[in-house]
Amino acid sequence: MTARTTVAVVGAGPAGLVLAHALRRAGVEATVHERLSRAELERTARAGVLEHRVVEYLRSLGLADRLTAEGERHGECEITCLGERVPVDYGALSGGVRHWVYPQQLLVRDLVAAYEEDGGTVAFESPVESVALDGDGRPVMRTAGGKLRADWAVGCDGARSTVAAALPGGADGAARRYPYDWLTVLARISRPVERIRYAVHADGFAGMMPRTADVGRFYLEVPAGEELSGWDEPRIRAELERRLALDAADPALGALLETGMLRMRGRVARRMRAGRLLLAGDAAHTVTPSGAKGLNSAVADVADLAGALAAAVRGDHGALDGYQQRRLEAAWRTQEFSDRLLELLHLPAGLPPEQREFALRLRLERIHRIARPGPEGAEFARAYAGAGELPVAGVWPPAQRTAVASRSTGR
């Protein structure tokens, strides 16, 4: 027997869950399928920095109560280079736009709980194994629970998306493999990280990111293809302390909870729609952690998609026509920002030691420029913090629709 649904959402990360919430509020039937168990999904540590516009959008859906109660507002980072710590007050430079720091796994937990409270169901441990199109161009999916026929299928299932693989002719697009990788560390800390620190260093980039009151995220630049086995705990600690110039005023590193190796890649699909198959988030574009844009661009995709898809379900067959162009243009803007920040934070690969000071001096000058009031500082700050607004679908009933402010709010 084949089950039926209006919209099949594949993947229960932030993008899939936010889309499911938005569709439900618009009165559109949707099913959500996730390959992981609920426990796995809610404990996997990933991103933790949310743009202003994303949090305001979540507020408009009534999905940000716990985030804004327990998360922290951040409006300043610092960039170190040649022994100088340069504070960048992007909250002031942007006119009041700041980040929220709230771990992704906690956001996912909140979104799942709210969806269930609203009467929705997430099918955990239910991977979509394949997607095909029937004679009418409607997707038919094979899942752990059997066949499912949908009017529309949205792939929010990451870079190895089964929905993307089903697009006729594929969705592969332009990609870049960066000439370095990042060693990632999740560690206990003696006190909270007050601000993001980016360290531009002759021996490679390092980063210190806030997560919770007693946990921080750290990064170390390593050669591309480096294996984690070559980095024992004493070496990791020594390099973090040296490159970040940690001192008594900084949080002290405690236990290393998790280490990994992040292969640094950028990718943008050549298309995000084929008929009734649609892509959002990592299924369509992969962005490096530089600037913390991955989760944020994924939510921006589904904020755009929600209203268009709801209108299409109601019979407006042209509602989705501009989705692909808008989101691909946005994806390339995001890639350009991330790439520009990476170029600032990393020295050119293979640069001889005698030329590194010159390269560092150039970067320090650029750091000073983005830290000063003026057009360059304002442009960086607004892009970095996620100024602006995401569209609240006009097709929603008025009682469920609130304006998303572009100004700073709350704490």
The pLDDT of residue 44: 80
Residue 251 domain-assigned (yes or no): no
The pLDDT of residue 46: 77
SS (H, E, C) 247-299: CCCCCCEEEEEEEEEEEEEEEECCCCEECCEEECHHHCEECCCCCCCHHHHHH
CATH code of 9's domain: 3.50.50.60
Q: What is the pLDDT along the chain (411 residues), one digit of tens a residue?
A: 689 999 999 999 999 999 999 999 999 999 999 999 999 988 887 788 999 999 999 999 999 999 999 999 999 999 999 999 999 999 999 999 999 999 999 999 999 999 999 999 999 999 999 999 999 999 999 998 899 999 999 999 999 999 999 998 888 999 999 999 999 999 999 999 999 999 999 999 999 999 999 999 999 999 999 999 999 999 999 999 999 999 999 999 999 999 999 999 999 999 999 999 999 999 999 999 999 999 999 999 999 999 999 999 999 989 999 999 999 999 999 999 999 999 999 999 889 999 999 999 999 999 999 999 999 999 999 999 999 999 875 544 433 443 333 333 333
Question: Could you report the per-residue pLDDT of 214-261, keeping only the tens digit for each?
Answer: 999 999 999 999 999 999 999 999 999 999 999 999 999 999 999 999
Residue 376 domain-assigned (yes or no): no
Residue 255 domain-assigned (yes or no): no
The pLDDT of residue 409: 33
Residue 230 has phi, psi (to 5 degrees) of -80, 0
Number of domains in the chain: 1
- Rounded to the nearest angstrom, the gap between the alpha carbon of residue 257 and the centroid of all alpha carbons in its chain is 22
Residue 220 domain-assigned (yes or no): no
SS (H, E, C) 144-183: CCEEEEEEEEEECCCCCCHHHHHCCCCCCCEEEEEEEEEE
Residue 127 has phi, psi (to 5 degrees) of -65, 145
Residue 281 domain-assigned (yes or no): yes
The C-alpha atoms of residue 172 and residue 184 are separated, in whole angstroms, by 27
Concatenated DSSP letters for 39-100?
Answer: HHHHH-----EE-HHHHHHHHHTT--HHHHHHSEEE--EEEEETTEEEEE-HHHHTTS--EE
Residue 195 domain-assigned (yes or no): no
Domain housing 279: 3-74+96-175+266-348+387-400
The C-alpha atoms of residue 404 and residue 306 are separated, in whole angstroms, by 15
Residue 101 domain-assigned (yes or no): yes
Q: Which of 341, 315, 330 is nearest to 285 (CA)?
A: 330
The C-alpha atoms of residue 199 and residue 323 are separated, in whole angstroms, by 38
The pLDDT of residue 400: 44
Question: Could you report the per-residue pLDDT of 98-122, keeping only the tens digit for each?
Answer: 999 999 999 999 999 999 999 999 9
**Residue 373 DSSP code:** S
Whether this prediction's pTM lies above 0.95 is answered by no
